[in-house]
Amino acid sequence: MSESVVQKQTGFQGLSTAILLPSVSLLGEPDGSHADEVGPLTSVVGIGLFQRTVLTLQRAGIRQLMVLVGPEEDQLKQALCKGSRVTIPVRWLPIREFPLDDPRTWEVLAAEIRGFCLLSGVQGVFASPLIESLRHEVQEGQAIIVARADRERDRQSRRSNVRLKAQAGKLLSITSKQDDDALVATDLVVLPAGFMSTAGHVNVEIGTVPIRRWLERAAVDGHVRVWSTETNRSHWYQDVRDAADIKAAEKQLFNSLKGEFEGFVDRFFNRKVSRWFTRIFLAAGLSPNVITILATLVGLVAAAGFGVGTYSAGIVAALLFQLAAIIDCCDGEVARLTFTESPFGAWLDITMDNVVHMAIFAGIAVGSYLRLAGSDGAWVPLALGSAAVLGNGLSFWLVTRAQKVKASSGWKTPVQAAWSDFMLKNVASRDFSVVVLMFAVIGKLEWFLGLAAIGSVVFSLLMLWVIRPSARTRA
């Protein structure tokens, strides 16, 4: 056994380390036992399974990674260098030097782990909140195995899923027999470092992974907990073994998309339509920031349409504005699907949203003025539009201040923090695009302008109250 190439990370405690096994299933047969099975480089929504697993673990807070890799090492390294950047340290441990059935391999790895370790295969797609929950649920001396429900596809003869019998959240047994009361084991297992340091006490067959034997032995003493993904919809796990599984995984990924600030129209209309555009943008290879600029351009064209002042131009402009709201959902969806979120992208998104909103207010004001030109009240839309634009600009500046306060010093009480989150959510809401369309249909866009002027001024006053000095803690 050669010396370990893994550096000791003495500052990492709890569950902050993961070990990936791209070539094998943790509890079952080696990968590749089915003719139609996919591999670690198989793409799901534009990213290979191996790379997606690494990036999901990174997003969930895993801080160092070890890869027990076979002959596919060069391919996996190349895949990891493409696209999204990996910021956590990755150590490559060739199986030819660290055999999976050799107790010394696991003893060496255990010596590099402080606390707990997550062992994971790569032929599955899972949610980062699942890993985040596991990181908060670890208990001294307790292993955790993640399980999901037994589905109809699992009962097909070609499937040989490992099933778990559990009672009160504790593992009773591991079996390959189909059972209506059993759960299906996933390739996610959390182990205390001590389990691996005593690997030599368990006999395993040559060429196999000892993880199942460790769990079976620990289950006798009640030291293995079963974590079911069925208890929380955000804790989903999808096996990826064939073409049908790839489609199911892509569906799960799209269903999991949700922005930080989302209104009623976003949830029940914009998101459902935006997913079709997101697929197109992914196929075209557009970055989130490019999509943000595209949504901005459509919004500015809509603002120009409102400035024409005719009824038909107002309808077309309102529809374009709704289209811009839909496309605006796509930048965040593409960023989350491809792990390309960035602080600049978030700032650009909310900034361009407010630029479009102010342009819409100005366009409606100009169009309403043109319709009323020559009458005594022609100045009213211009005044309302100016108030709406200034109120929106002031609100945006105050929201930016609130975000800085939240990131630096924070709020004195939970009530003040809740008010801040509520205001941040509403300044980013796209729901009023439907309201604009409704007023355009009835030919009363100037009424909307009045509401926008009052609303933006009231909102800015509320934001002034939210970020008042007495509500903030000292940095």
- Note down pLDDT in tens along the chain; length 475 residues: 333 433 344 344 589 999 999 988 888 654 444 445 688 999 999 899 999 999 999 999 999 999 999 889 999 999 888 766 889 999 999 998 988 888 888 888 888 888 899 999 998 999 999 999 999 989 888 999 999 988 766 656 455 678 899 988 999 998 877 776 788 999 999 999 888 876 555 565 655 778 888 888 889 889 999 999 988 888 999 999 888 899 999 999 998 887 555 667 777 788 889 999 999 999 999 999 999 999 999 999 999 999 999 999 999 999 999 999 999 989 999 999 999 988 899 889 989 999 999 999 999 999 999 988 878 888 899 999 999 999 989 988 888 888 777 777 677 777 777 777 777 666 656 678 888 999 999 999 989 999 999 988 888 888 888 787 776 676 5
Residue ranges of the chain that CATH labels 1.20.120.1760: 257-471
How many angstroms separate the CA atoms of 28 and 68, rounded?
A: 17
d(CA 367, CA 387): 16
Q: For residues 296 and 355, what is the distance between their CA atoms, to the nearest angstrom?
A: 8
Give the number of other Cβ atoms within 10 Å of residue 173's Cβ: 13
CATH class, domain 257-471, is mainly alpha
List phi, psi (to 5°) of 440.
-65, -40
Sign (positive/negative) of CA torsion 433, 437, 438, 444? positive
* Alpha-carbon span 300 to 353, nearest angstrom: 10
| Burial tier of 342 (Cβ tally within 10 Å: 0-12, 13-18, 19+) | exposed
Q: Which helix (H) or strand (E) holds 238?
A: strand 237-239
Q: How far is CA 321 from CA 98, 301, 303, in A?
A: 58, 8, 8
125 bridge partner residues: 238
Query: CA–CA distance from 352 to each of 82, 285, 388, 446, 463 (Å)?
Result: 29, 21, 17, 24, 20
Query: Could you give the angle at the alpha carbon of 307 between the alpha carbons of 301 and 310, nearest 5°?
Result: 110
Q: Which two tokens stand for residue 165?
A: 């019998």
- Name the architecture of domain 15-253: Alpha-Beta Complex (3.90)
| Start and end residues for every CATH 3.90.550.10 domain found in the chain | 15-253
